[in-house]
Structure 1
Amino acid sequence: MNLEIEIPIWYNGKMKWISNLTTRSKCSDVIQAILSSDENYFPQTNDNYVLYESWRGVERPLKSRCRLLKLWHSWAGESQNVTLTLRNYHQQQYHQIISTQNRIRHQEKKSKRNQKRTDKQLKNQNQSILSYLNLYRSILNTQTQIEYQQKIISCLITDIDNETRIDFNQDDLTNLLTEVNQTLIISRQLNQQSDELDEKINFSNKEIDRKQCLLDELELDYALDENIEIDSLEDDNDDDDNQDQLSFTFQQEHVSTKDASPSPPPPTILTQKKTQTVSSRPTAIVEPSLSLRKSRSFSDHPLKTRVQNISFPIRHHSPWSLSTNDESDTGISSFNSTDDQLVTLV
Structure 2
Amino acid sequence: MTRVLPAVAVALCVAATVAWAVLGRGDFWPRWVYFGFGTVAAAVFVFRRALRTSSGRRRWLVVNAAFGGLLIAADLTIYVLSGGGYFWPVWTTLAVSALLGLHAYVVSKPPGKRERELAARVTSLARSRSGALDRQAAELKRVERDLHDGAQARMVSLALTLGLAGELLRRDPDGAEKLLLEARSTARSALDDLRAVMHSIHPPVLADRGLLDAVRALALDLAVPVTVAGTIEGEPSPAVETAAYFAVAECLGNVVKHSGATSAQVVFAAPLRVTVTDDGHGGVDPAAGSGLRGITERLEAVDGRLEVTSPAGGPTTIMITIPI
TM-score (norm 2): 0.23
TM-score (norm 1): 0.22
